[in-house]
Amino acid sequence: MDELLAQFLIEGRELVQQASEDLLALEREGHSPARLDSAFRAVHTLKGSVGLFDLAPMGKALHAAEDVLDAVRGRRAGIGSGFLDPVLACLGACEAWLDAFERHGALPPSALEQGRQLEAALHRCMPGAQVAETGGPAPSSPTDWATALAGTQEEAVAAARAAGLTVTALRYLPDADCFFLGDDPLALLRGLPELIALRIEPRSPWPPTAEYSPFTCNLDMQALSTATAEEIRRVFRLVPDQLTLVELPASATAVTVAAADGAGEASARVLRVDAARIDQLLDVVGEMMVAKNALAGLAARVGAVDAGLGRALADNQAAMERLAGEMHRSVIGLRMVPLSQTFRRFPRLMRETAAELGKPIDFQIQGDEVEADKAVVEGLFQPLLHVLRNAVDHGIEAAPRRAAAAKPATGQVTLRASRRGDQMLVTVADDGAGLDPAALRAAALRRGFGTTASIEALDDAAALDLVFAPGFSTASTVTALSGRGVGMDAVRMAVETLGGRVSLSSVPGAGTTVQLMLPRATVISTVLVIRLGEERFGIPIEAVTESLRLPVAMIQPISGGEAFVSRGRTLPLLRLSGLLRLPPRPRQGPVARLLVVRCGDQPVGIEVDGFSERTDLLLRPMSGLLSGMAGLLGTALMADGRVLLVLDVPELVG
């Protein structure tokens, strides 16, 4: 990416954030000239740098926002707090546009119309200002079906646009055999937020009644939604190949390119370094650690020849070791950033969500000074946003129910982080309706998530865990009954990708707490090195619950496999060679060596040829061609210079 653009994107997001924080502080704390000035400067600077790129709608909207803030600063008559909403909406749009600009190098087609609406809203809160004239509708160029669909649904589209929403057309062509695969295509559409039009047609003409077969899906579904493309893709994440999305371009004004308006005024207080350069430094440090380890062997050899020289070399080696370790920690520390980098984006988004749903919310953040690896801090944004929105949407009750339960009208949502050694605990707590385990069990039964016996056997904690089951929370009856929403399985997946765990606790009537336990640093892992024939592999220590030496006689053949009894439980036994698709080898000697590994909730024994050491390694994720390989977490350079493959055992067992 060109350097100017990269710099613009970083600064642009910071300026949006700065202005949002200033405005939210104004709302919270009342009039403050310093905050107003700061917000004005941020918007002014952003508007100036926007002119350097092809971002005219953003420039014009920001210009209008700047005028409004300037008027408020000058205390011109007629401006109350009514300016906050349109300016915040403008900042929200700018953030989304910056994302789009980074990904696609251009603004989405809807930006013109959206910018025009933002501008109009901003002008409206300026007394005596003229609402900008708009041109006629511009010719649109989506695919034909989308145009046709929008044409037949003009009213719905116009109403959505009047509310300032973007309309996306989607076409879903379920596979002919999808019923056999257990799909229910309309259930996906039911789960779609903000459906405003739906058209269903046969893909090929219906046969005569007597020849109709109920087993083949022959539907072509077209819909309009005001949900974002991302939300829609999430609903259809299991059938992405059957979905087409078209964002409907809005009517447009003629484009005039805003002139560049002076360079940014932001002064550099910190040195910005590309994360890739830090990773490069980390690689070099890793190699240095290896070189240092070799020195220990050399000192021993020299000591055998000349004891005095050997001692001197060993002293030096120890000093090197200490320094290298320190350097390693410092470099790792460079990747550590405070959680506030992600958390600070939430207050504005929560304010939007609360306003959309018409629920007054008091949103608190605690512990955002906790630091974690940049990848973890950034990766937390999506899952946390989901959980936070759920808390407002499904956790906090509507006003009448809160009143009936003698709760304060304003719902409490708290995002809290705290350090737990190498890990951190992030919780989202609400004081809403909570979840009813009995209702969840009933829903699970209805939805076929198990047999009656297996579901009734679930204790309350296990019943609550059902909300994370894939597809469970999208079932409409569940949302109606228990109120916990769509896509908690996606949250769990995202958190697990970051190396964390997510769980949920709830007191019916008093609220729900979602807990995320996450590693603060992802780069250093403790692995157990195991042997398989001549090969060595690493297994992350957190995956291993115990290592066992078991007499071969205690291994029982069962149907098509093997099992053994440990602590009174019968566990399946799998051979690592089999999981890696290596040729099977006979067992050596009377004792088998196994690791007990947790796969989901089920412990499984994995047989290996031998255990070696436990070691701390710099785990590098697989990259390039290898990144798609299942069952591999990454590679690490061993002290002896060999490359160790680190296995993802739960995935191997799959």
Partner 1 sequence: MTVVLEADVIRLRGDCPVGDAETLVALLQEVPGRMVDLTGAGTLHTAVIQVLLALRPQVLGPVGNPFVDRWIAPLLPMGRSG
**Strand pairing report for 535-540 and 643-647:** parallel
When the beta carbons of 134 and 216 are compared against partner 1, the nearer one is 216
Backbone angles phi, psi at 528, to 5 degrees: -95, 125
Q: Determine the interface stretch with partner 1 among 105-113, 197-205, 541-549, 562-570 (rule: CB under 8 A).
A: 197-205
- The pattern of x and - marking residues 410 through 449 that bind partner 1 according to CB under 8 A reads ------------------------------------x---
Q: How far is the CB of 477 from partner 1 (least distance, A)?
A: 7
Q: Tell me, rounded to whole angstroms, the distance of Cα 218 from its chain centroid.
A: 35
Residue in 5, 9, 159, 217 binding partner 1, rule: CB under 8 A: 217
Rounded Cα distance between 177 and 41, Å, is 58
Q: Determine the interface stretch with partner 1 among 148-156, 159-167, 200-208, 277-285 (rule: CB under 8 A).
A: 200-208
Residue in 162, 210, 270, 409 binding partner 1, rule: CB under 8 A: 210
Burial of 457 (0-12, 13-18, 19+ CB in 10 A): exposed
Nearest to 402 by CA among 430, 427, 436, 429: 430
- For 491, the enclosing helix (H) or strand (E) is helix 488-497
Residue in 86, 174, 519, 605 binding partner 1, rule: CB under 8 A: 174
Residue in 7, 134, 218, 340 binding partner 1, rule: CB under 8 A: 218
Q: Per rule CB under 8 A, is residue 190 in the interface with partner 1?
A: yes
Angle at 585 between CA 582 and CA 589, to 5 degrees: 145
Q: Per rule CB under 8 A, is residue 204 in the interface with partner 1?
A: no
Residue 37's Cβ-side half-sphere holds a number of Cα atoms within 13 Å equal to: 3
# residues near partner 1 by CB under 8 A? 28
Q: Determine the interface stretch with partner 1 among 83-91, 150-158, 183-191, 266-274 (rule: CB under 8 A).
A: 183-191
Q: How far is the CB of 209 from partner 1 (least distance, A)?
A: 5
Q: How far is the CB of 194 from partner 1 (least distance, A)?
A: 13
Tally of CB atoms within 10 A around 297? 12
Amino acid present at 627 = S
Q: Per rule CB under 8 A, is residue 82 in the interface with partner 1?
A: no
Q: How far is the CB of 167 from partner 1 (least distance, A)?
A: 17
When the beta carbons of 182 and 421 are compared against partner 1, the nearer one is 182
**Is the separation of the CB atoms in 403 and 351 below 8 Å?**
no
Site residues for partner 1, window 548-587 (CB under 8 A)? Answer: none
Residue in 57, 108, 115, 185 binding partner 1, rule: CB under 8 A: 185
Q: How far is the CB of 216 from partner 1 (least distance, A)?
A: 9
- The pattern of x and - marking residues 618 through 637 that bind partner 1 according to CB under 8 A reads --------------------
For the chain, the straight-line distance linking the first and the last C-alpha, in angstroms and rounded, comes to 38
**What 3-state class would DSSP assign to 505?**
strand
Q: How far is the CB of 227 from partner 1 (least distance, A)?
A: 16
Joined together, the tokens standing for residue 552 give 């071969």
Residue in 206, 549, 559, 586 binding partner 1, rule: CB under 8 A: 206
When the beta carbons of 196 and 282 are compared against partner 1, the nearer one is 196
Q: Determine the interface stretch with partner 1 among 38-46, 88-96, 194-202, 530-538 (rule: CB under 8 A).
A: 194-202
Joined together, the tokens standing for residue 334 give 């460079």
Q: How far is the CB of 459 from partner 1 (least distance, A)?
A: 27
The residues near 274 (Cβ < 8 Å, ≥ 6 apart) are none
Q: How far is the CB of 215 from partner 1 (least distance, A)?
A: 8
Residue in 10, 106, 200, 591 binding partner 1, rule: CB under 8 A: 200
Q: Per rule CB under 8 A, is residue 610 in the interface with partner 1?
A: no
Residue in 130, 204, 209, 256 binding partner 1, rule: CB under 8 A: 209
Angle, in degrees to the nearest 10, between helices 33-50 and 56-73: 160
Q: Determine the interface stretch with partner 1 among 147-155, 198-206, 303-311, 612-620 (rule: CB under 8 A).
A: 198-206
When the beta carbons of 170 and 636 are compared against partner 1, the nearer one is 170
Residue in 186, 314, 439, 637 binding partner 1, rule: CB under 8 A: 186
Nearest to 167 by CA among 61, 244, 101, 249: 249
When the beta carbons of 68 and 192 are compared against partner 1, the nearer one is 192
Q: Given the structure tokens 């339960």, which residue do they identify?
A: 405
Q: How far is the CB of 440 from partner 1 (least distance, A)?
A: 17
Rounded Cα distance between 157 and 225, Å, is 9
When the beta carbons of 178 and 302 are compared against partner 1, the nearer one is 178
Q: Per rule CB under 8 A, is residue 286 in the interface with partner 1?
A: no
Rounded Cα distance between 248 and 139, Å, is 11
How many secondary structure helices (H) and strands (E) does the chain include? 23, 23
Q: Per rule CB under 8 A, is residue 214 in the interface with partner 1?
A: yes
Residues of 420-441 as b/e, b for ≥16 C-beta within 10 angstroms? Answer: eeebbbbbbbbbbbbbbbebbb
Angle at 72 between CA 262 and CA 19, to 5 degrees: 55
- The pattern of x and - marking residues 475 through 504 that bind partner 1 according to CB under 8 A reads -xx---------------------------
When the beta carbons of 130 and 452 are compared against partner 1, the nearer one is 452
Q: Determine the interface stretch with partner 1 among 87-95, 125-133, 215-223, 376-384 (rule: CB under 8 A).
A: 215-223
Angle, in degrees to the nearest 10, between helices 56-73 and 111-124: 10
Q: Per rule CB under 8 A, is residue 202 in the interface with partner 1?
A: yes
**Is the separation of the CB atoms in 371 and 338 below 8 Å?**
yes
**Is the separation of the CB atoms in 169 and 245 below 8 Å?**
yes
Q: Per rule CB under 8 A, is residue 187 in the interface with partner 1?
A: yes
Rounded Cα distance between 63 and 82, Å, is 18
CA distances from 626 to 629, 631, 650 (A): 5, 11, 18
Q: Tell me, rounded to whole angstroms, the distance of Cα 410 from its chain centroid.
A: 28
Q: Per rule CB under 8 A, is residue 452 in the interface with partner 1?
A: no
Burial of 128 (0-12, 13-18, 19+ CB in 10 A): exposed
Joined together, the tokens standing for residue 65 give 């926002």
**Is the separation of the CB atoms in 172 and 178 below 8 Å?**
no
Q: Per rule CB under 8 A, is residue 179 in the interface with partner 1?
A: yes
Q: Per rule CB under 8 A, is residue 181 in the interface with partner 1?
A: no
Binding residues for partner 1, per CB under 8 A? 174, 179, 182-187, 189-190, 195, 198, 200, 202, 206-207, 209-210, 212-215, 217-219, 446, 476-477
